Structure 1
Amino acid sequence: MAFVMPLIHSVWNALLNNFVVEKAAFTGAEIGMLQSLREVPGFLAFTAVFILLVVKEQTLALVSLAIMAIGVAMTGWFPFEIGLYATTVLMSIGFHYFETVNQSLTLQWLPKDQSAHFMGKQISVKSFASLTAYASIWVLMEWFGYSYNVMYMLAGGAGLIIVMLLWVMFPQFQQHSTQHKHMVLRKRYWLYYALTFFSGARRQIFMVFAAFMMVEKFGYSVGDISLLFTINYVFNLLFAPSIGKWIHKVGDRKALCFEYTGLVLVFSGYAFVDSSLMAGALYVIDHLLFAISIAVKTYFQKIAKHEDIASTAGVSFTINHIAAVVIPAVLGVVWLTSPGFVFFVGAGFALCSLVLAMNIPAEPSEGNEVVKNPLGWANLQAKPQMGE
């Protein structure tokens, strides 16, 4: 499942900006609206817990992948504004329900001391799938002249076939504990919720406007975008497992502080960059830093009750998408007059994340979710008065 999801989604994502500009004459306002609509199913991800009343998590994961594949296959048939909005929402329903269940199952099935390394290996597998997708785009469109429609149909069709094979070949795996089938929102998880919120807000600016800048400002072709994405995923393929081991070694707090410091610098760089090569370099660094974000998930795994994981996965996806539903549409309008300001907003979100990450304990666990003195300052007490 970790392979097939990016295989489908990477084709949709790599072609999107060129497709909407060339075939539907999108500006920043329309692409912002499309991306906001894409995030609505993510905002509603908490409803997955109600679906799990009647469907097992593994079954929901496979059904969601199938819906996503169908949405991608249909995209090329609707090269106009309303049609693209509709196929994007269909694709997004499958994508977000799968990601919710995928996170839940990963955290449930893995021992805590193995999860960071395993998630790193998952990123490596996803990177290999994305590389396959981007290489296919480059060969089939640049060399053989295949159309957007054919590429979308090939990606969606291949994904649907693989999902059917997964359904037939694998048994229903047993759960270690019975998961809550109702909404779980706990006060002691507040730091995880806050990190998730700012992660969603910041990631939208990267996904929507960083890639759009490459096409609109620097004139990147489909081949150029595919090559840039290929470089990103080669780095992930090579280094993601090592990043997982590094996170386990240094701890969630240090890893996330390193990531967010780097992102403040990267987003500030986006605001001023005038070189297409430098913009591409910033994009690659941004993508590599994103691999460290698995530390947010491992932090939650350490502080959570096991039976809370499925419900909290849905809640966290909703929190992740609160800002994501609004930000692309609002900043899409801002983009028309000040693209640089959009990236300064991203730098601000990264700075907020850095401050929050300082609250993570060195060894988080149930009952030790938040550090008492995040900046390591000495507790200052009033000097005793005369006679005390």
Structure 2
Amino acid sequence: MKNPMFRFLLVLTIASNGGFQIWRTIFNNFAVEISKVDGAQMGIINSAREIPGFLAFAAIYVILVIKEYRLAALSILLLGVGILLTGYMPSYAGLIFTTIVMSVGFHYFETTNQSLTIQYFDKKLSSVVMGRLRGATGLSSLVATGMVYLLMYYLNYAQTFLVSGLLVALIGIWALFENPTDKNIVPQAKKIVLKKKYWVFYILTCLSGARRQIFTVFAIFLMVEHFRFSVSEVTTLFMINNVVNFFLGPAIGKAINSWGERKLLSIEYVALIAVFVGYALIDSKLAIGILYVVDSLFFNFDIAIRTYFQKIGEKADFASTMAVGFTINHIIAVALPAIGGYLWLMNYQYPFWIGAVLSVAALGFAQVIKIEHANEAEGRGVSLDK
């Protein structure tokens, strides 16, 4: 636990996820109740949110002029600024602007977070680190969700966004004065890397982006608009999810080492097919809430995509491929919310049928994973206690 990079990433992960959790918990209700947006507008807003993720490949050029860990710190600062401005710009255009600002910080931190994790920790340890960080997101989200209850009791929407965004921004400022680097880490390629042997990683990453959008946009909007979940009910579901993730995250990291990426991803995709069909067909508020918790549970399994790449990838490609992967992840993610929003106006079930079809495709591609044919040369191992 004394490893400086692990500590650095842990603190920033807590800040990123905690701030985003508060934003996500109240944003849909804020947008519907205060800004009066409809399904199509919500789709556009969420498509705009994914544009910075689509442009994540540009991080390769940013780290030409600043260190990658500095970019991580600046990203957290920008995330906080985007959150704190949200409540004071309630117009449709204002929501798009603040969402993009917040999203630039969130996505560029996630890009650097994933890259630094597989650079600094070897193939066996990285899955454990990712699992612990995912567990930390569960804990930070739990605390953040509790803060929503407390803040919304005393404050209005704008003030809640302000307080939470300010806390995140302060952590970003702290991180700017930290230096957790190790001079022995393999230097990273400062250019965009695309290689044929990574094609399965690219496809699964792209499909993962589509799955994530349906989960984060339409599943929540289904609960708020169609089933009329209140802020407190949505918050309660988030709290349940976070408790599950806190305990499950570290276990997923260990399961990857024990069972392998192909088996875990196959389990995830089979479960998602059932979940998306359930979203489309079930008309019970309680059942939809249960499905959302199950959906969140399997969301943790996607770290297996990154550990798969680490096992087949060349060390110098890690930073570039993580950035390119984030862009690929958002190819569908940028268009899907807008398209799904218009389909929603025709029938709210359509986005979930799309999700089921994409999960079937992902299940098929997951069967191509063959770690045993990958380059098994281990990277430099780094202990969490050093």
**Is TM more than 0.5 here?**
yes
- Structure showing greater Rg: 1
Higher helix share: 2
- 1:62 matched to 2:73? The reply is yes
| 1:350 alignment partner in structure 2 | 359
Any conservation in 2 of the 1:73–1:154 contact (CA below 8 Å)? yes
| 2:32 alignment partner in structure 1 | 21
TM-score by length of 1: 0.92
- Matches of 1:161 and 1:182 in 2, distance apart? 32
- Matches of 1:315 and 1:56 in 2, distance apart? 18
Given residue 311 of structure 1, which amino acid in structure 2 is its aligned partner?
A: S
Deviations 1:174-228 (A, max 9, x none): 3511100011000110000000011111211111100001100111111111110
- Matches of 2:324 and 2:178 in 1, distance apart? 31
| 1:219 alignment partner in structure 2 | 228
Gaps of 5+ in 2: 1-11, 378-386
| 2:266 alignment partner in structure 1 | 257
| 1:109 alignment partner in structure 2 | 120
Any conservation in 1 of the 2:115–2:318 contact (CA below 8 Å)? yes
- Matches of 2:221 and 2:202 in 1, distance apart? 29
**1:274-313 equivalences in 2 (<5 Å):** 274-313=283-322
Given residue 21 of structure 2, which amino acid in structure 1 is its aligned partner?
A: S
| 2:8 alignment partner in structure 1 | none
| 1:133 alignment partner in structure 2 | 144
- Matches of 2:174 and 2:202 in 1, distance apart? 36
- Matches of 1:186 and 1:367 in 2, distance apart? 18
- 1:327 matched to 2:364? The reply is no
Which of 254, 258, 267 is equivalent to 2:276?
267
Q: Judging changes above 3 Å, is the alpha-carbon distance between structure 1 residues 20 and 307 closer, same or farther for their aligned structure 2 residues?
A: same
- Matches of 1:168 and 1:364 in 2, distance apart? 42
Deviation at 1:367, TM superposition (A): 8.6
- Matches of 2:363 and 2:50 in 1, distance apart? 24
SS at match of 1:26: coil
Given residue 69 of structure 1, which amino acid in structure 2 is its aligned partner?
A: G
Deviations 1:119-141 (A, max 9, x none): 11101111111111110101221
SS at match of 1:64: helix
| 1:5 alignment partner in structure 2 | 16
- Matches of 1:112 and 1:203 in 2, distance apart? 25
SS at match of 2:194: coil
- Matches of 2:74 and 2:129 in 1, distance apart? 24
- Matches of 1:169 and 1:191 in 2, distance apart? 36
Given residue 32 of structure 2, which amino acid in structure 1 is its aligned partner?
A: V
Deviation at 1:273, TM superposition (A): 1.4
Any conservation in 2 of the 1:24–1:81 contact (CA below 8 Å)? yes
Which of 91, 96, 99 is equivalent to 1:85?
96
Quote the RMSD (CA, aligned, Å).
Answer: 1.3
Deviation at 1:12, TM superposition (A): 0.8
Gaps of 5+ in 1: 369-388
Which of 163, 169, 177 is equivalent to 1:168?
177
Deviation at 1:346, TM superposition (A): 0.3
Which of 217, 233, 237 is equivalent to 2:242?
233
Deviation at 1:44, TM superposition (A): 0.6
- Matches of 2:184 and 2:98 in 1, distance apart? 34
Any conservation in 2 of the 1:302–1:364 contact (CA below 8 Å)? no
SS at match of 1:35: helix
Which of 193, 202, 218 is equivalent to 1:193?
202
**1:122-161 equivalences in 2 (<5 Å):** 122-141=133-152, 143-144=153-154, 146-161=155-170
SS at match of 1:25: coil
Deviations 1:132-154 (A, max 9, x none): 1110101221x33x101111011
TM-score by length of 2: 0.93
Deviation at 1:244, TM superposition (A): 1.4
Identity over aligned residues, as a percent? 43
SS at match of 1:182: coil
Any conservation in 2 of the 1:251–1:363 contact (CA below 8 Å)? no
Given residue 80 of structure 2, which amino acid in structure 1 is its aligned partner?
A: A
| 2:187 alignment partner in structure 1 | 178
- Matches of 1:173 and 1:9 in 2, distance apart? 29
